[in-house]
Amino acid sequence: MVDRYATFANSAAGKALVKRLGLPAPTTLRRYSPGDPLVTGPVLVDAAPGGRLAPAIRKILDEAGVVLRDPVAAAVEAGASETPGRLAALIFDATGVTSSDRLRTLYDFFHAHARTLLPSGRVIVLGTAPEDCAAPREAIAQRALEGLVRSIGKEFGRGSTAQLVYAAPDAPLESTLRFLLSGRSAYVSGQVIRIGPAVTAAPTEPAAPAEPAAQDRPAAQDAPAAQDGSPVDWERPLAGRVALVTGAARGIGAAIARVLARDGARVIALDVPAAGEPLAALANEIRGEALQLDVTAADAPDRLAGYLRDRHGRVDVVVHNAGITRDRTLGRMTAEQWDSVIDVNLSSQERINDAILELLPAGGRLIQVSSMNGIAGNRGQANYAASKAGVIGLVQVLAPTLAARGVTVNAVAPGFIETPMTARMPVPLREASRRLNSLSQGGLPVDVAETIAWFASPGSSGVTGNVVRVCGQSLIGA
Ligand code: NAD
């Protein structure tokens, strides 16, 4: 679906008019292509006195080949020069902020460098989760960071994003830093992400697979699944892993299947039999497997568990993406409309999880697709919003139990994404949805898929229990 306003606003004549009239200016976002450098320029990392993360961050970025600016030189330059050198990212370690008066260190840093960011620049503030702070004043100051970061997301413009990462002392940071710095997180902004210590469990082998005939044996089974803790190949982090994606025939599900395959996974693409043709084409394209199955069928959990056990003996990544809408205000909604949405979007996923979670080994990843409307609610979508809020509940309930087995569970909550689903929206509502966010445009299916790939990465072993919105920092439900 073409965003005509964005095309116009990025034309030579459009740019000038948009600026003069103060209209929304949707910058063309930097998105990831294989082989791209992590960032497009130097990165400045600074810290409040007593910050505990900056040295580790500098080491990670240095080893990743990122050019780091010296904070002292950058501050001098910012004060002395009208045109200080441009930066691709500003990273501030705020873990040393133990009381509200120390928030001033963030003012000093961002005031000095606010105008130095390159287009599609990145702001990352790291802190300690308020619930993990020992002293009340520290917890209050750390909570204050949310307001600052969300304001930066709304203020800096030109396709830049801003995130707050609350990190535990021994949290593995690299996969999250890489995701947030790169073009993979183009449409993620204003988010609060929590990273804990790596979830680990003594690798318990799932039920032994029935031995498939050699000629039927899929490629993924030949390569052992990478275990958390071993070095990550950042170009193909999912090599050797088996991933299931539901609702994969089109839209966001197809993008997820493509991105997970690009990252090295053997993808099982699942969709209803009626979508058999596009499903087969997609599976062919990504050299994966097509599985025709209605997730609400009574025998779906058993059939799916049997398929995974027989073919692969396990499943490393499960993405519950299949979803439907049946919109009506409650007074007009039929019981069938209520039931079908709750069943596809929530109940069937619970039944399937009951049957297949035992096939997720240590290092496994369960990923749910919620929605911004599951956070904010929406007129005419009580059924959909209930189902998607339930998905968030599922993440919260399962996170502690699965962590004990070395498995993470997270959800994405997409905002307005350009898909056949949103192409059917009435024009005024569609236009409003596109503009009412900090990036002034809709997201693409690939933006949701990249966020899911970050959750799926073996490097994301400390990322669990999170609900991350892929919404360009939408004003709705913020
Ligand atoms: P879509 O309608 O384009 O694709 C959904 C896919 O799920 C289809 O291929 C469909 O056949 C499949 N599916 C539906 N019922 C199924 C069933 N019973 N069994 C197996 N497969 C089934 O939708 P989309 O826009 O790509 O959305 C994908 C997910 O993202 C959904 O969960 C949706 O709620 C969520 N989401 C989308 C947006 C958006 O803006 N498009 C926003 C928020 C959340």
Of 189, 124, 205, which is closest to residue 157 (Cα–Cα)?
Answer: 189
Task: Map tokens 């600052």 to a residue.
Answer: 148
Burial class (CB in 10 A: 0-12, 13-18, 19+), 80: exposed
Task: Map tokens 């260190």 to a residue.
Answer: 105
Confidence of residue 478 (pLDDT cuts 50, 70, 90): low
Asked whether 251 lines ligand 1 (CB < 6 A), one says: yes
> What size, in residues, is the chain?
478
Q: How far is the CA of 252 from the centre of ligand 1 (A)?
A: 7
Given this model, what pLDDT does residue 211 score? 44
Calpha distance 324→246 (Å, rounded): 12
Asked whether 319 lines ligand 1 (CB < 6 A), one says: no
Q: Decide: 90 and 128 in contact? Cβ < 8 Å.
A: no
pLDDT-above-90 percentage for the chain: 80
Q: Is the pLDDT of residue 232 over 70?
A: yes
Q: How far is the CA of 17 from the centre of ligand 1 (A)?
A: 37
Q: At what angle do helices 300-311 and 348-356 cross, to 10 degrees?
A: 30
Mean per-residue pLDDT, 144-168: 97
Asked whether 279 lines ligand 1 (CB < 6 A), one says: no
More confident residue, 24 or 147: 147
Q: Is the pLDDT of residue 315 over 60?
A: yes
Given this model, what pLDDT does residue 7 score? 81
Q: How far is the CA of 205 from the centre of ligand 1 (A)?
A: 32
Residue 120, helix vs strand vs coil: strand
Residues noted as catalytic: 384
Dihedral of CA atoms 127, 121, 423, 378 in degrees, nearest 10, equals: 30
For 264, residues 6+ apart whose C-beta sits below 8 A from its C-beta are 233, 236, 237, 238, 239, 240, 241
Which residue type does 136 have?
P
Calpha distance 187→438 (Å, rounded): 10
State the sign of the Cα–Cα–Cα–Cα dihedral 235, 239, 245, 248: positive
Confidence of residue 17 (pLDDT cuts 50, 70, 90): low
Asked whether 98 lines ligand 1 (CB < 6 A), one says: no
Closest atom of ligand 1 to 255 CA is 26
Nearest residue (CA) to ligand 1, atom 41: 417
For 215, residues 6+ apart whose C-beta sits below 8 A from its C-beta are none
Asked whether 422 lines ligand 1 (CB < 6 A), one says: yes
Asked whether 185 lines ligand 1 (CB < 6 A), one says: no
What is the rounded average pLDDT for all residues in the chain?
92
Token output for 92: 């501030």
Mean per-residue pLDDT, 133-154: 98
Q: Decide: 320 and 349 in contact? Cβ < 8 Å.
A: yes
Calpha distance 473→8 (Å, rounded): 22
Given this model, what pLDDT does residue 212 score? 46
Q: How far is the CA of 407 from the centre of ligand 1 (A)?
A: 25
Asked whether 252 lines ligand 1 (CB < 6 A), one says: yes
Token output for 43: 């990165």
Mean per-residue pLDDT, 338-364: 98
Closest atom of ligand 1 to 248 CA is 9
CB atoms within 10 A of CB 402: 23
Closest atom of ligand 1 to 250 CA is 9
Pocket test for ligand 1, best of 268, 271, 444 (most atoms within 8 A of CB): 271
Q: Is the pLDDT of residue 16 over 80?
A: no
Given this model, what pLDDT does residue 226 score? 44
For 80, residues 6+ apart whose C-beta sits below 8 A from its C-beta are none
Mean per-residue pLDDT, 36-52: 96
Given this model, what pLDDT does residue 197 score? 97
* CA 336 to each of CA 30, 300, 340, 348, 370: distance values in angstroms, whole numbers, following the listed order: 43, 20, 6, 15, 21
Token output for 132: 């993990």
Q: Is the pLDDT of residue 429 over 60?
A: yes
Q: Decide: 418 and 1 in contact? Cβ < 8 Å.
A: yes
CB atoms within 10 A of CB 339: 14
Closest atom of ligand 1 to 249 CA is 9
For residue 363, how many C-alpha atoms fall within 13 Å in the half-sphere facing its CB? Answer: 25
Lowest mean pLDDT among 92-106, 279-293, 432-446: 432-446
Confidence of residue 444 (pLDDT cuts 50, 70, 90): very high
Mean per-residue pLDDT, 335-339: 98
Buried/exposed 189-204: b ≥16 CB within 10 Å, e otherwise = bbbbbbbbebbbbeee
Given this model, what pLDDT does residue 471 score? 96
Token output for 136: 């009340």
pTM of the model: 0.93
More confident residue, 214 or 263: 263
Q: Decide: 385 and 341 in contact? Cβ < 8 Å.
A: no
Calpha distance 82→116 (Å, rounded): 10
Confidence of residue 19 (pLDDT cuts 50, 70, 90): confident
CB atoms within 10 A of CB 345: 27
Q: How far is the CA of 260 from the centre of ligand 1 (A)?
A: 17
Given this model, what pLDDT does residue 213 score? 42
Given this model, what pLDDT does residue 218 score? 45
Q: What is the pLDDT of residues 171-209, one digit of tens each?
A: 999 999 999 999 999 999 999 999 999 998 755 555 455
Lowest mean pLDDT among 14-18, 54-58, 293-297: 14-18
Nearest residue (CA) to ligand 1, atom 28: 252
Q: How far is the CA of 369 from the centre of ligand 1 (A)?
A: 9
Mean per-residue pLDDT, 145-169: 97
pLDDT-above-70 percentage for the chain: 92
Q: Is the pLDDT of residue 216 over 70?
A: no
Given this model, what pLDDT does residue 217 score? 41
Calpha distance 18→9 (Å, rounded): 6
Given this model, what pLDDT does residue 343 score? 98
Closest atom of ligand 1 to 278 CA is 9
Q: Decide: 350 and 387 in contact? Cβ < 8 Å.
A: no
Given this model, what pLDDT does residue 222 score? 40
Q: How far is the CA of 348 from the centre of ligand 1 (A)?
A: 14
* CA 27 to each of CA 15, 85, 158, 434: distance values in angstroms, whole numbers, following the listed order: 10, 21, 6, 13
Lowest mean pLDDT among 95-109, 176-190, 399-413, 425-439: 425-439
